[in-house]
Amino acid sequence: MPVIAKDRPIETLRKEVTDQLIMNYSHGELSLEAFERRLDEAMATDDHDALVNLTADLELTVDEEFINSQKEQMSGNYVPGESDDVETMFQLFSGSDRSGEWRLPKELRVISVFSGCNVDLTDAIFTNSVLTIKMFNIFSGNNIYIPEGVNVQTKAFCIFGGVDNSVSSAGNPNAPTIIIEGFVLFSGVDISIKRSLKERFVMFADKLKTFLS
């Protein structure tokens, strides 16, 4: 006899409901409007019965093909392997961007003087369990975009400046850890998520729907 909904871990139930919503949307059983509305409700509620009701009228359930596709698309870009020890970004009275699918080194050094840069790790490939970002910022402003689901630690020393970290660590010991440290003088560093978990769900569902059609 299955365990009743209210006695199950809420996050486990939420994941099952979210997966079933994606499954039915990708197979054309839900409109985009209904999918996004129900997805919002699934991510916002902590009511077990409310979660169950979101998929009570849906017939399609998750299969092995779905699980394999989800692991490939949603597990994050952590591929242990060889990488450079150090990579340096240097900006002097200028600006630069680093983004896309690039292999991360063990240590990334970001030096900005009267400058600004964007370091986008959203689609980057983590080759080590720990990435250290060492910053040296003087009269500069940098943005660091972190993929959801990783652990983040900040240890920067600031003088007339600050580091704004709006990212919550995943709390998963198996997830990559990003350590951000260094020196910030008359500068600002903003650490945030560029692509939310909901956006990742919708992107995965759209890719699956396109593949099935």
Q: Look at the pTM and tell me if it is higher than 0.85.
A: no
Q: Edge to edge, what strands does the sheet with 188-192 contain?
A: 95-98, 116-120, 141-145, 188-192, 162-165
Q: How many other C-beta atoms are found inside a 10 Å radius of the C-beta of residue 213? A: 8
Cα of 150 vs its chain's centroid, Å? 7
Task: Give 15-29 pLDDT, tens digit per residue.
Answer: 899 999 999 999 999
The ranges of the chain with pLDDT < 50 are none
Average pLDDT over the chain reads: 87
Predicted confidence at residue 30, as pLDDT, reads: 92
Q: Is there a contact between 90 and 119 (Cβ–Cβ < 8 Å)?
A: no
Predicted confidence at residue 131, as pLDDT, reads: 95
Q: How many other C-beta atoms are found inside a 10 Å radius of the C-beta of residue 164? A: 11
Quick one: which of 175, 140, 172, 170 has its CA closest to 156?
140
Predicted confidence at residue 207, as pLDDT, reads: 83
